[in-house]
Amino acid sequence: MIDLDHNATTPLDARVRAAMIELLGDPSLDGNPSSVHGRGRRARAVVEDARRSVAAAVGAEPLGVTFTSGGTEADALAILGTCRALRQAGRPCALASSKLEHPAVRGAGELLAREGIPQVFVPFDEHGRIEAAAVVETLRAHPEVGLVSLATANNELGNVYDIAGIVAAVRGLPGRELLVHSDAVQAFGKYPVDFAAADLDLMSVSSHKIHGPKGVGALIHRPHLRIDPLWIGGSQERGRRVGTEAVPAIHGFGVAAGLVAAELDQRRAHVAELHAQLLAGLAEVAPGHLRYGDPDRHLGNTALVGFPGCPGELLLMNLDLEGVAVSTGSACNSGKFAASKVLLTLLGEGPGASEALRFSLGKDNSAAEIARVLALLPGIVARVREERGCA
Ligand SMILES: Cc1ncc(COP(=O)(O)O)c(C=O)c1O
């Protein structure tokens, strides 16, 4: 299979798999990290090693890494956990976010709204760009806001946002003490991410987007920030995320994060070459295609491409029959055929949002794979257009 759907998930790195298998094969590491006996302490050491590895890879302190079940839970914990805590402290607690955010962030905002905590949205331009000045203007008009949540990179467009610039502008607002969260789930592993340098309060990351196992992620935060847990019943993760830790998955995440720290530059250079090959090839083999997103600040692995007259789902199915995996939008759309949510937001109702494919490249793709996809596309596009009577 040619995997051009890395924004949905990334294959488990063979080195991560080996490390996890080694751990799973060692009964002495099979303890509960909260147990005080030796087996428990050894499991605890595994978790703390992983915490240090994730912290180092994202420029955070180990005390500011709370393991979760993934990016969705990290987003929910960041947004629900801090807005609820702000409300309890009698501080402004509304959420400022954008309509381009991942459903995990949008969903947390909806849950807040059900609790009577309002949400306001910052504007974006036709390429999905969000400028610091627009964020500041929104915040000036909304003194009720206590938390700003904006992604570091958009999962469908591949846009990268100037989070450090946005945070600096937000911090410059007189008389306001705002918290800033960024969903860095798509950025981490594909783009340099530095929590401390960006001066963020909270940041979400996920293991399966960096060639680690699924079902684990982390909320990165200032070490002593008050975050209400989503549920109670234990004291793990300093009470922020209670429940026995998923030690093997956390271990795999730590190994994957260490590999990102060591290999990011090399991975980016490789993917950038393939991305350039894909874009140059598309210009040749798919005249009239549309390219969405910010052409200047982007992840370097993602191309959200419109094929006017061609339903994305038919293109996807035809590519799938040839052994090529792509998607029509976010991973949440991958299991069912639905128009790209981000394009619906950007373009409004109309065929555009359902006539797009997202290609997202990864470290293990090759030039030969890109060439193969480019060779397949003209025939598939022509066939789909013919079937739809739009040739
Ligand atoms: C930007 C973004 N945030 C959050 C998530 C959810 O992460 P997870 O799949 O680990 O729950 C995703 C996954 O697609 C994502 O792209």
Q: Among 202, 209, 360, name the best residue to mutate to test ligand 1's pocket (greatest count of ligand atoms within 8 A of Cβ).
A: 209
- The rounded Å distance from CA 187 to ligand 1 centre is 11
pLDDT value of residue 334:
46
Residue 359 CA to ligand 1 center (angstroms) comes to 17
pLDDT tens digits along 301-359: 999 999 999 999 999 999 999 999 999 975 544 455 678 889 999 999 888 999 999 99
Provide the 3-class DSSP secondary structure of residue 192: coil
Tokens representing residue 46 in the block: 């595994």
Q: What pLDDT is attached to residue 386? A: 86
The catalytic position among 83, 93, 310, 332 is: 332
Q: What is the C-alpha separation between 170 and 199, in angstroms, rounded?
A: 11
Q: Provide the pLDDT confidence category of residue 387 given band limits of 50, 70 and 90.
A: confident
Question: Quick check: 128 and 154 in contact, CB under 8 A?
Answer: yes
- Closest residue by CA, ligand 1 atom 5: 71
The pLDDT value recorded for residue 338 is 74
CA distances to 149, 255, 275, 301 from 269, rounded to whole Å, are 29, 21, 10, 10
Atom of ligand 1 nearest to the CA of 72: 11
* Ligand 1 atom, smallest distance to 208 CA: 10
Instruction: Please state the rounded mean pLDDT for residues 173-188.
Output: 98
Q: What is the pLDDT at residue 333?
A: 45
- Residues 378/336, Cβ–Cβ less than 8 Å: no
Q: Is 390 a catalytic residue?
A: no
Nearest ligand 1 atom to alpha carbon 75: 4
Ligand 1 binding pocket mutation candidate from 102, 150, 253, 299 (most atoms within 8 A of CB)? 102
pLDDT digits (tens, 9 = 90+) for 242-257: 999 999 999 999 999 9
Instruction: Return the DSSP state at 330.
Output: S
Cα(363) to ligand 1 centroid in Å equals 19
Rounded to the nearest integer, the mean pLDDT of the chain is 96
Residue nearest to atom 15 of ligand 1 (CA): 185
Residue of the CA atom closest to atom 9 of ligand 1: 71
For ligand 1, atom 7: residue with the closest CA: 71
| CATH, range 2-8+263-387 | 3.90.1150.10
Quote the Cα angle for 323-324-328, to 5°.
Answer: 135
Q: Alpha helices, DSSP H only, in 232-366? A: 247-285, 312-321, 341-347
The CATH-assigned architecture of domain 14-259 is: 3-Layer(aba) Sandwich (3.40)
Is the confidence at residue 390, as pLDDT, over 70? no
pLDDT at residue number 269: 98
Question: Which atom of ligand 1 is nearest the CA belonging to 70?
Answer: 10
Range 34-47 average pLDDT? 98
CA dihedral 343, 214, 147, 174 (to 10 degrees): -90
Do residues 305 and 4 lie in contact, with contact meaning Cβ atoms separated by under 8 Å?
A: no
DSSP 40-61: HHHHHHHHHHHHHHHHHHHT--
Beta bridge partners of 298: 159
Instruction: Ligand 1 pocket test: pick from 186, 202, 253, 360 the residue with the most ligand atoms within 8 Å of its Cβ.
Output: 186
The set of residues, in sequence order, having a beta carbon less than 8 Å from that of 185 and lying 6+ positions away, is 71, 74, 75, 102, 104, 151, 155, 204, 205, 206, 209, 217
CB 253 within 8 A of CB 57: no
CB atoms inside a 10 Å sphere around CB 374: 17
Cα 206 to ligand 1 centre (Å): 7
Residue 18's CB: how many other CB atoms inside 10 A? 11
- Neighbour count for residue 380 (Cβ, 10 Å): 22
Residue ranges of domains in the chain: 2-8+263-387, 14-259
Cα distance between residue 15 and residue 191, in whole Å: 21
Choose among 352, 348, 354, 292: nearest CA to 99.
348
Q: Is residue 135 a contact partner of residue 169, using CB atoms and an 8 Å limit?
A: yes
Is-contact 184 193, C-beta < 8 A? Answer: yes
First to last CA, the chain: 29
Position 351 scores a pLDDT of: 87
Which of 67, 68, 155, 332 most suits a substitution to test ligand 1, by most atoms within 8 Å of the C-beta?
155
- Give the other-Cβ count within 10 Å of 54's Cβ: 30
Residue positions counted in the chain: 391
Helix (H, G, I), strand (E, B) or coil at 115: coil
pLDDT in tens, 62-108: 999 999 999 999 999 999 999 999 999 999 999 999 999 999 999 99
Span from the CA of 185 to the centroid of ligand 1 (angstroms): 6
Q: Which two tokens stand for residue 202?
A: 């909270």
Q: What is the DSSP string of 205-237?
A: EEGGGTTS-SS-EEEEE-TT-----SS-S--GG
Task: Summarize the confidence of residues 175-204 as an average pLDDT.
Answer: 98
Within 6 A (CB) of ligand 1 lie 70-72, 75, 102, 104, 151, 155, 183, 185-186, 206, 208, 217, 331
**How far is CA 295 from each of CA 276, 305, 345, rounded to the nearest angstrom?**
12, 12, 18
- Retrieve residue 102's tokens: 């991942």
Atom of ligand 1 nearest to the CA of 214: 10
